[in-house]
Chains A and B, each alone.
Chain A
């Protein structure tokens, strides 16, 4: 019994202290996709991720995809909003400048809507990755 307790104690890694970068990098990455990596000097990764998310989002807008609003009351719209909001600064910019179609009227607009939602979801992955780098869980 005592031996197993000692083993389980040894297996537990000490909690890592949260640095300021672990808060700044994901927040910055939310506002500007890829910036969380760039601020940590992962230049190439940051630029490639930034280009990927930006292109997905802007192609979605160019296809007249819909940018969801938070308060429509429709469950599917709320889920769409959660995805869109992941794009952070791009989403805010899109709402401020009234980008995107108001209704999905064609197949291309439907693809565009999916592009915008997925750009946001991919940016959430990018933010989590920036956090892992800041916490030294990833080189």
Chain B
């Protein structure tokens, strides 16, 4: 089963890759940096929102630079 990952040759867009990256990074940030479940969830959501916001801002900056 594990070998399946090695041969999967997964192709994703930059946006999808950044979205998945943001999701799991935010989960780990939330759990490891806060003490209580409610705070963990809120901080995880906060990090995810910043990741996504940064992604859109960076995308528009690159678009403007390109044009």
Residues of A in contact with B (beta carbons under 8 Å apart): 45, 48-49, 52-53, 55-56, 58-59, 61-64, 93, 97, 99-100, 107-108, 111-112, 114-115, 118, 122, 125-126, 128-129, 138-139
Contacts and interface: CB of A to CB of B under 8 A. Distances in A.
Nearest to A58: B5
B28 A63 contact: no
Interface of B: 2-3, 5-6, 8-12, 14, 17, 20-21, 24-25, 27-29, 31-32, 35-36
Given A62-B8, A64-B9, A111-B14, A52 B35 contact: no
Given A48-B31, A62-B5, 20 more contacts: A49-B31, A55-B20, A56-B21, A58-B5, A59-B5, A59-B10, A62-B6, A62-B10, A64-B10, A97-B6, A111-B14, A115-B17, A115-B21, A122-B25, A122-B28, A125-B32, A126-B28, A128-B32, A129-B31, A139-B35
B35 A108 contact: no
A19 to B, nearest CB: 19
Majority DSSP secondary structure for residues of A touching B: helix
Majority DSSP secondary structure for residues of B touching A: helix
A56 B25 CA distance: 9
A128 B32 CA distance: 8
B5 A111 contact: no
Nearest to B29: A125
